[in-house]
Amino acid sequence: MAKITKEAALRYHSQGKPGKIEVVPTKPYRTQTDLSLAYSPGVAEPCLEIEKNPQDAYKYTAKGNLVAVISNGTAVLGLGDIGAMAGKPVMEGKGLLFKIYGGIDVFDIEVNEKDPEKFIEAVKAIAPTFGGINLEDIKAPECFEIERRLKEELDIPVMHDDQHGTAIISSAGLLNALQVAGKKIEEVKIVVNGAGAAAISCTKLYEALGASHENIIMLDSKGVITSDREGLNETKRYFATERRNISTLEDAIKGADMFLGLSKGNVLTQDMIRSMADSPIVFALANPVPETTYDAAKEAGVAVAGTGRSDRPNQVNNVTVFPGVFRGAIDVRARAITEDMKVAAVWAIVDLIDEKDLREDYVVPDAFDPRVAPAVAAAVAKVAIEKGLARKIVDPEEVKANTLKRVGR
């Protein structure tokens, strides 16, 4: 991969028409008749139909293929709280990814509001426009309550992708890596370095897939999270350990089977890796600098290594997840995105790599693999239908085929 310079990045975003996305008309507009149908007086007719039956918005407007990417800019990439406007390039980029990987249209919305209650009210007020809500780059712990409330109070799919997209792809990678390493998820000891939104969601999904709560140690910036620490929030308290003989990453990593890093760069040394159990798994996902490099991890003897980087094998990146999750959810007009849908998405990704093709440098599909979004979309749609959350019944195989057509591959 070519080195990305500051100059190249700024030129990419500013050249030609500034930004990365635009709105394109989908109906004829060349004649007076066209315009009279598009706007006044013709536009009144679909308005009246939607007034009688709000679900007709899916029939007469772009609602059914439109997702809002909404952020307040409090946790942008690894840059932190840089503000709503400064986060806009990221939200536009997310819109681009939704379009090319899922065929989904996006309005990016930057809300200049840090108060969770006011942010929730703002999102609820604009929700009728959209078929789904993708929350983005909102800091923990506020993001947990914001997502929980919006899922409860809206009847369209809502997902905080920083949490769940990362959780789904890392879970798929872990299940495949365990096969390579010859280990069982019920038995492995897991160390999670980081206690933000993504780390919490990843670890909860690992548990849903069979990982033992007692075998998980989580650390934050202060070290190992123990149950006797004062001032723990609810999410950290859930993962607090009763053990008192460990306090640092160096302590916690000894004998561990798997390391998940969602923290900061260069904190996992080769000596720490060598102290892990035989055939360990290391997912170092800090961005842009991982906790350890892929090459350093392999040199230290890991069975499987993965990072968020595209220039090394096993890129554990949520770009392979969120387009398919939303594609499946909005195609059947699901009322929500549930834990069952996330688990189904995990297994859909796992199953894309045949057991005979599985190897230490190939435990997750490539980000450009055209099978990923269609497979995830079909899995999500299937669960939505089975659980009675779909307003529209569509054969999951049809969802898969249509997704492949939409992304133009």
Q: Which residues are catalytic?
A: 39, 94
Torsion sign across C-alpha atoms 138, 140, 144, 149 = negative
Structure tokens at 344: 């189904």
Q: What DSSP letter does each residue of 323-336 carry, written as one string? A: HHHHHHHHHTTBS-
DSSP 268-303: S-HHHHHTS-SS-EEEE--SSS-SS-HHHHHHTT-S
Tokens of 140: 């923990």
Residues 11/15/17/21 CA torsion (nearest 10 deg): -40
Strand order across the 223-224 sheet: 223-224, 216-220, 190-193, 258-261, 281-284, 304-307
CB atoms under 10 Å from CB of 326, counted, come to: 29
Q: Which two tokens stand for residue 103?
A: 């065929």
The whole-angstrom separation of Cα 403 and Cα 409 is 10
Decide: helix, strand or coil at residue 196.
coil
| Residue positions counted in the chain | 409
Q: Write 83-87 long-range contacts (CB < 8 A, 24+).
A: 83/112, 84/110, 84/111, 84/112, 84/113, 85/110, 85/112, 87/136, 87/137
Please name the helix (run of DSSP H) or strand (run of DSSP E) that holds residue 187, with its range, or none: none
